[in-house]
Structures are given as structure tokens and as C-alpha cells.
């Protein structure tokens, strides 16, 4: 575990008062470390978990050459470019058992999709392409010329997965397709990194929990719900700690509880400049925390660091028993102190917290690809900060992608976030956007 000072020394020109989005990502990637505990999980419980080891294919998939169609299997050498091919049907190969018997020139076997290719046969003609004729007990098919090539409609042994080769790789999150692939190898369990435990709470005396009566100057807590949603989509185990008042004792209890229980703590509110509350003071007291100003919009203030677990609070009997539960994480918990404004919370989460949590989950952190879409409007943008605009991406009549903003971009306006399907990312050095300019878009579907 590195201290913030050690990380700062490793980074050139680190200035907590003037962080670019890239500086933030570089800093966070040095701050966090992947979890180490491995859980072996049954497949039905492994969705969304991250693989802790490569999965090597124990056999070839498919294990035999087999037919990709319902049709007739034959030796493709007999095909000719200009003459029809007539074959006698010798029997039927069903899926699930090998067809016994030999097939000579001029003969074929009726075959079902997935059935093992009979010995010596390499080509399948789909049944709808043949003319079938019956004389007494004997069935014959006629294949028109020019329709097939040798090897058509045959799936090769091992074409899906080769024995001894990695079928799935360490650090890959288990998607539905990857679960299916593991099952096709006969694997009942997979070794995954344990899920990340993330505690979160909202701060601020003006923040109401749902169910509380409205009062003047107060707003309902929306941040806990957006944070909950984004953490759920990432497969984190969540510890919801509610709204914590601007009260030193309550804040201290919340932070120390979170630091003993969780790998990461996400708070919202109380980190802006001139904030007259106790949140920042408590973060400083209980941990190693930096307070940043980030050149971005929305966002800007953010606290980052680590809340350290209480070592050994001395007990009245002098035996040193802690009044806190045994902490699961001796290094404490990584702190993401997000701003209070609801859209700033979501944007800083997507831009910074999400990549850091993925790294902690042992997942590959390659950024999700961004789309390019043509802006349907002019947007004023100052170089020197990264701006995230809530947008709606749609398909233009010519088939290309276009994007327009979803209205007021105020950092507290959750409506324009709720109406958006992506965030336009206007990069640090970028200036004004003209109508028709291409902009990068982070689509919500790929992340939340
Ligand atoms: P702060 O960063 O604490 O100064 O908060 C900035 C703005 O965000 C203020 O208008 C707060 O009322 C609002 N805010 C802070 N926390 C929340 C929350 N949990 N839910 C909704 N709005 C919030
Ligand atoms: Mg506040």
C-alpha cells in the first residue's frame, strides 16, 4: 500500500488544485490494488464475477466433426461443377449417437444437425436443396450442380475450442456467453475474485431520507440511489449506510464502521471549497486523504485517499480489544469523496470511480470503447477542462450516429441525465463544437 505522498512523488507535476481527468486516472491506478481472495463459485452464482485464473479447455469443442444442417452427408470429392450428383441414401445419422456403417462412392447418409459426421464423409447438403426420389425400398437424392463445395455445412472438431488452449482468460468478467462457454466445457464451478464490498452514504444536513417529511431548504437524497444502481450493475456487494448528518460523532462512527467493513467507501457531499461542515475534517482525521480540484464539468471537487481502520482501541479492561468488529481489510478502505450535486456524482463515478473499482475487482481496465457521433448542435467549450454533456444518441437518416444534448446541463439537473442515453466527452484540450462535428460519446448501455 502506497501513501498519497509516495504516489504524488511518482507522478510528474502533481497538483491537487489543478488535476486533469487523466491525472486523476493515473493517480487512482496507483492508489488501488486488486482484491486477493479467490472464491470458487457454481456457474449460476458466477455471473458478473471476475475470473481469477485462465480456464483451459479440457477437450475439443465440438468433440467430433458434425453436421451444421439437417440434410445428407457425402464425400465432397464427387461434386462436379456442371453435372448433378445422384446419391443413394444408406441410413440416418441422428444427433447424439455415431452412425455405424460404411458409405461408398455414390452413397450418402441422411444426417441431423449436430450428428457426428460418418467416417469418410466431409460435406452436407441441406435437405431443402435436394430432389428426393423413392424406388421401392431405395431412396435417392439429386444435388443440383454449382451449389456446394467440399466441406460445406460441416463443423470441425475443435473449431470452437481446442483442447489445452485457454477458453477464457483471467480478469475477464463472466458474461452470459462466458458462462455458457464454461458450461460447454463441463465445468461446474469457476474460480473468481471475491466481490468488492463497497460502503456508501450521503452527507449533508439538508438531505432527507425517503419517508421523511419535506421541509424548507431540504432535498431528498438521490445520490444513494444512483450510486446504488451503478454499484449493482458492477456486481459489488453494497453496504448502504444511509444519510449521515453533519455531526462529528456520527461522521466518525460512519467512516470507521465503513473502513472496517468495506474495501471502498463512496460518500457524496461536503467536499467543496468553503464547505462549512465536518466531513472534510473527519476524512483528514481518520485517513490519508487528498482534496482535489479537477478540471472538469460537472464534478470539480473530490476527496480521495484511504480511511484507515482503527488499530486497537483500548478497552476498559486494558486487554486492547477493539470496540469495532474485526476489520477485513488491514489497509483500510479506499475513499471516494464525491461532490454533492447529483449529476456530478454520476459523472465522477463513471469517469473515475468505476475504473478504479474495476481494478480493485481484478478486472481488465481497458476503457469501454466510445462511439463517435455528429453533434446536432453547437456547444461552447473551453479548452483546459473535460466536459461531460448529457446526450441522446440516435441514428441519422443516412445511417450515421448523431447526438444532441438533453437540455439543461446544470450539475444538479438529474432530469437531463435521466433523459440521456450517453455522455458526450469533450476532452481537455478540445474547444467549441460546431454543428456536424464528431464528438466522443460514452454510451450508458456499455457501463450502467
Ligand atoms: P455539496 O457538495 O455538499 O456542497 O452539495 C452540492 C449540492 O448538491 C447541494 O445543493 C446539495 O443540496 C446537493 N446534494 C448534496 N447531497 C445530495 C444528495 N445526497 N442528494 C441530492 N442532492 C444532494
Ligand atoms: Mg453540503
CB count within 10 Å of CB 41 equals 17
Mutate to test the pocket of ligand 1, among 267, 282, 340 (most ligand atoms within 8 A of CB): 340
Ligand 1 atom nearest residue 268's Cα? 16
- pLDDT exceeds 70 at position 203: yes
Average pLDDT on 276-283 reads 86
- pLDDT exceeds 70 at position 319: no
pTM of the model: 0.88
Q: How far is it, in rounded angstroms, from Cα 335 to Cα 28?
A: 11
Q: Whose CA is nearest to atom 5 of ligand 1?
A: 340
Q: How far is it, in rounded angstroms, from Cα 181 to Cα 158?
A: 13
Shortest CA distance to 350 belongs to which of 254, 448, 221, 268?
448
Mutate to test the pocket of ligand 1, among 268, 270, 348 (most ligand atoms within 8 A of CB): 268
Mutate to test the pocket of ligand 1, among 208, 341, 344 (most ligand atoms within 8 A of CB): 341
Q: How far is it, in rounded angstroms, from Cα 333 to Cα 239?
A: 13
- pLDDT exceeds 70 at position 389: yes
Residue 333 per-residue DSSP state: E
How much distance in Å is there from the Cα of 205 to the middle of ligand 1? 10
How much distance in Å is there from the Cα of 116 to the middle of ligand 1? 64
Q: Which set of grid coordinates corresponds to residue 316?
A: 476498559
First vs last Cα of the chain: how many Å apart?
Answer: 30
The CA angle 184-188-193, to the nearest 5 degrees, is: 105
Place of cell 440521456: 420
Q: How far is it, in rounded angstroms, from Cα 285 to Cα 306?
A: 11
Q: Whose CA is nearest to atom 2 of ligand 1?
A: 340
pLDDT in tens, 224-267: 999 999 999 999 999 999 999 989 999 999 999 999 999 999 99
Give me the pLDDT at residue 320, please.
41
How much distance in Å is there from the Cα of 192 to the middle of ligand 1? 37
Residue 75 per-residue DSSP state: -
Using CB atoms within 10 Å of the CB of residue 201, give its burial: 0 to 12 exposed, 13 to 18 middle, 19+ buried.
Answer: buried
205 alpha carbon, closest ligand: 2
Q: How far is it, in rounded angstroms, from Cα 252 to Cα 271?
A: 16
Which residues, other chains included, contact 165 with Cβ-Cβ below 8 Å and sequence gap of 6+? 56, 57
Q: Which set of grid coordinates corresponds to residue 248?
A: 462529528
Q: Which set of grid coordinates corresponds to residue 297?
A: 464539468
Give me the pLDDT at residue 331, please.
81
Give me the pLDDT at residue 318, please.
42
Q: How far is it, in rounded angstroms, from Cα 233 to Cα 236?
A: 8
Using CB atoms within 10 Å of the CB of residue 347, give its burial: 0 to 12 exposed, 13 to 18 middle, 19+ buried.
Answer: buried
Residue ranges of alpha helices (H) inside 17-166 are 21-31
Q: How far is it, in rounded angstroms, from Cα 355 to Cα 353?
A: 6
* CA 409 distance to own-chain centroid: 26
Which is more confidently placed, 98 or 52? 52
Ligand 1 atom nearest residue 301's Cα? 2
Shortest CA distance to 377 belongs to which of 441, 296, 437?
437
Give me the pLDDT at residue 314, please.
45
On the CB side of 304, how many CA atoms lie within 13 Å of its CA? 29
CB count within 10 Å of CB 299 equals 28
How much distance in Å is there from the Cα of 269 to the middle of ligand 1? 5
How much distance in Å is there from the Cα of 276 to the middle of ligand 2? 8
Average pLDDT on 110-136 reads 96
**Cβ pair 379, 405 in contact under 8 A:** yes
**Cβ pair 71, 87 in contact under 8 A:** no
- pLDDT exceeds 80 at position 124: yes
Give me the domains of the chain, ranges plus CATH numbers.
Answer: 4-37+194-360 (3.40.980.10), 42-47+52-61+159-192 (3.90.105.10), 66-155 (2.170.190.11), 371-443 (2.40.340.10)
Mutate to test the pocket of ligand 1, among 201, 204, 280 (most ligand atoms within 8 A of CB): 204
**Cβ pair 390, 416 in contact under 8 A:** yes
Ligand 1 atom nearest residue 339's Cα? 2
Q: Whose CA is nearest to atom 17 of ligand 1?
A: 340
Give me the pLDDT at residue 315, please.
43
Average pLDDT on 402-418 reads 96
How much distance in Å is there from the Cα of 218 to the middle of ligand 1? 10
* Ligand 1 lining (C-beta closer than 6 Å): 202, 204, 206-207, 219, 221-223, 268-270, 272, 275, 339-342, 412
Give me the pLDDT at residue 327, please.
45
**1, 5, 17, 261 from 303: Cα distances, Å:** 18, 15, 11, 20
- pLDDT exceeds 60 at position 312: no
- pLDDT exceeds 60 at position 313: no
What's the chain's average pLDDT? 93
Place of cell 431540504: 218
Give me the pLDDT at residue 409, please.
94
Q: Which residues pair with 306 in a beta bridge?
A: 288, 334
Q: How far is it, in rounded angstroms, from Cα 417 to Cα 422?
A: 9
228 alpha carbon, closest ligand: 1
pLDDT in tens, 68-110: 999 999 999 999 999 999 999 999 999 988 999 999 999 999 9
Which residues, other chains included, contact 425 with Cβ-Cβ below 8 Å and sequence gap of 6+? 370, 386, 388, 439, 440, 441, 442
Q: How far is it, in rounded angstroms, from Cα 54 to Cα 99?
A: 36
Q: How far is it, in rounded angstroms, from Cα 190 to Cα 192?
A: 6
Give me the pLDDT at residue 116, please.
97
- Angle between helices 279-286 and 248-261 in degrees, nearest 10: 50
Place of cell 465503513: 258
How much distance in Å is there from the Cα of 279 to the middle of ligand 2? 9
What is the pairing mode between strands 55-56 and 371-375? unpaired
Give me the DSSP letters along 261-304: H-SEEEEESS-STT--SSHHHHHHHHEEEEEEEBSEES--EEEE
Residue 78 per-residue DSSP state: G
Average pLDDT on 362-384 reads 93
Amino acid at each position: 500500500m502506497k501513501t498519497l505522498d509516495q504516489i504524488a512523488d511518482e507522478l510528474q507535476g502533481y497538483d491537487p488544485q489543478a488535476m486533469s481527468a487523466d491525472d486523476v486516472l493515473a493517480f487512482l491506478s496507483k492508489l488501488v490494488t486488486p482484491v486477493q481472495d479467490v472464491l470458487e463459485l457454481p456457474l449460476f452464482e458466477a455471473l458478473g464475477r471476475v475470473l481469477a485464473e485462465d480456464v483451459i479447455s479440457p477437450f475439443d469443442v465440438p468433440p467430433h466433426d458434425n453436421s451444421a444442417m439437417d440434410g445428407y452427408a457425402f464425400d465432397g470429392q464427387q461434386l462436379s461443377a456442371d453435372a448433378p450428383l445422384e446419391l443413394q441414401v444408406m441410413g440416418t445419422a441422428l444427433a447424439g449417437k455415431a452412425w455405424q456403417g460404411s458409405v461408398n462412392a455414390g452413397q450418402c447418409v441422411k444426417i441431423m444437425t449436430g450428428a457426428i459426421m460418418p467416417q469418410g464423409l466431409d460435406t452436407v447438403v441441406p435437405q431443402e436443396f435436394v430432389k428426393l426420389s423413392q424406388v421401392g425400398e431405395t431412396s435417392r437424392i439429386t444435388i443440383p450442380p454449382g451449389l456446394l463445395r467440399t466441406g460445406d455445412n460441416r463443423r470441425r472438431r475443435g473449431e470452437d475450442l481446442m483442447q489445452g488452449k485457454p477458453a477464457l482468460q483471467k480478469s475477464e468478467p463472466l458474461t452470459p456467453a462466458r458462462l455458457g462457454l464454461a458450461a460447454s466445457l463441463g465445468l461446474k464451478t469457476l474460480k473468481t475474485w471475491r466481490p468488492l464490498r463497497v460502503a456508501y452514504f450521503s452527507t449533508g444536513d439538508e438531505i432527507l431520507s425517503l419517508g421523511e417529511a419535506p421541509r424548507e431548504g431540504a432535498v431528498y437524497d438521490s445520490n444513494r440511489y444512483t450510486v446504488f444502481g451503478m454499484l449493482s450493475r458492477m456486481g459489488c456487494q453494497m453496504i448502504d449506510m444511509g444519510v449521515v448528518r453533519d455531526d462529528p460523532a456520527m461522521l466518525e462512527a460512519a467512516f470507521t464502521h465503513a473502513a472496517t467493513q468495506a474495501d471502498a467507501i463512496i460518500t457524496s457531499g461536503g467536499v467543496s471549497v468553503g464547505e462549512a461542515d465536518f466531513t472534510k475534517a473527519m476524512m483528514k482525521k481518520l485517513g490519508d486523504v487528498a482534496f482535489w480540484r479537477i478540471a472538469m464539468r460537472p464534478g470539480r471537487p473530490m476527496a480521495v485517499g484511504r480511511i484507515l481502520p482503527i488499530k486497537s482501541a483500548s478497552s476498559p479492561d486494558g486487554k486492547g480489544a477493539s470496540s469495532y468488529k474485526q476489520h477485513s481489510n488491514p489497509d483500510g478502505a479506499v475513499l471516494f469523496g464525491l461532490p454533492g450535486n447529483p449529476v456530478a456524482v454520476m459523472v465522477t463515478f463513471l469517469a473515475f470511480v468505476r475504473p478504479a473499482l474495476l481494478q480493485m475487482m481484478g478486472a481488465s481496465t481497458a476503457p469501454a470503447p466510445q462511439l463517435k457521433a455528429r453533434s446536432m448542435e453547437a456547444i461552447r467549450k473551453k479548452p483546459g477542462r473535460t466536459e461531460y454533456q448529457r446526450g441522446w444518441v440516435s441514428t441519422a437518416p443516412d445511417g450515421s450516429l448523431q447526438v444532441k444534448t438533453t437540455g439543461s446541463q446544470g450539475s444538479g439537473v438529474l432530469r437531463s441525465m435521466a433523459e440521456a442515453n450517453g455522455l458526450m466527452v469533450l476532452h481537455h484540450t478540445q474547444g467549441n463544437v460546431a454543428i456536424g462535428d464528431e464528438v466522443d460519446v460514452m454510451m450508458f448501455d456499455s457501463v450502467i
